[in-house]
Amino acid sequence: MKKTLYQFFLIFFVLFQFETIAEEKNYYKELITDWSRIFPDQNRNAAGPKFFKYIIDKEITYKDFVEFNKLYCAVSGSLIDPDSEPDFLFANESNTNKKICGDYYKCCIPCSCDIMKYSEVEKMKYKFIDGLQEFYVFTIKNPCNKQDFPNRVNKNYFCDGVKINNKQVYSLNGRIVIGLLHNGRSCSKDEIDFVKTHQVTGRFCELRNNTPLENLERGMGDIFIKLAR
């Protein structure tokens, strides 16, 4: 009897794990399938906002929304491996300047540094098919009147003249939403200390964020920074 119960629970566990993995892969597959719809000219440079807009416009649950938002980099616009681990970091909240902590899924380490320095977070409310939810999102200011708008970024994705192109990206309080801060909340002192002393978000990011723009060679280099600063 015990052996039969053990076998039953083992089979149930394996099937549950398989279904979970399959579900995650389906999110990724859907983004791959719709790539040309999201990026008609195939240019995803710094176009995390295009992914966010594509996802938020879907008729989906909040869980789906969260899972989709683990699969692209808000800074670079590149896809992320479904098995990637996030960095724990903080960003300043717009208007209050309070530090908000959470998890950020990135394609490479420099993107964590760039998003901490050049983005701000805001609390956003949105009604999904399973109800109203509240969460933190990364935002950048309207870049559309920049004289040095980066030429490797498709400006039409972001801008309609000097206004934000709300058909292509999602805006919140006059700023462009570029991605989701997962598990966002006000930082505790211990969490701030952890981020500041971490070998990536502390030491590496301090070095990167003090490097002159023209000398940046890793990650998106100067592309996202020129867009967001």
The residues, any chain, with a CB within 8 Å of residue 37's CB and separated by 6 or more, are 54
Read off the pTM.
Answer: 0.86
CA–CA separation, 99 and 166 (whole Å): 28
Q: Who contacts 100 (Cβ-Cβ below 8 Å, separation ≥6)?
A: 90, 91, 92, 93, 121, 136, 181, 184, 185, 186, 187
From 23, 119, 3, 113, select the one nearest 71 (Cα to Cα): 23
pLDDT for the residue numbered 22: 41
The pLDDT of residue 78:
94
Eight-class DSSP state of 180: E
145: tokens are 């009147």
How do the pLDDT tens digits run along the chain, 229 residues long?
A: 444 444 444 344 333 443 444 444 489 999 999 999 999 999 999 999 999 999 999 999 999 999 999 999 999 999 999 999 999 999 999 999 999 999 999 999 999 999 999 999 999 999 999 999 999 999 999 999 998 899 999 999 999 999 999 999 999 999 999 999 999 999 999 999 999 999 999 999 999 888 887 777 655 667 899 999 8
What pLDDT sits at residue 215?
A: 73
The whole-angstrom separation of Cα 145 and Cα 125 is 28
One-character DSSP codes across 150-171: -TTS-HHHHEETTEE-TTTS-E
CA distance 13 to 122: 39
What 3-state class would DSSP assign to 185? Answer: strand
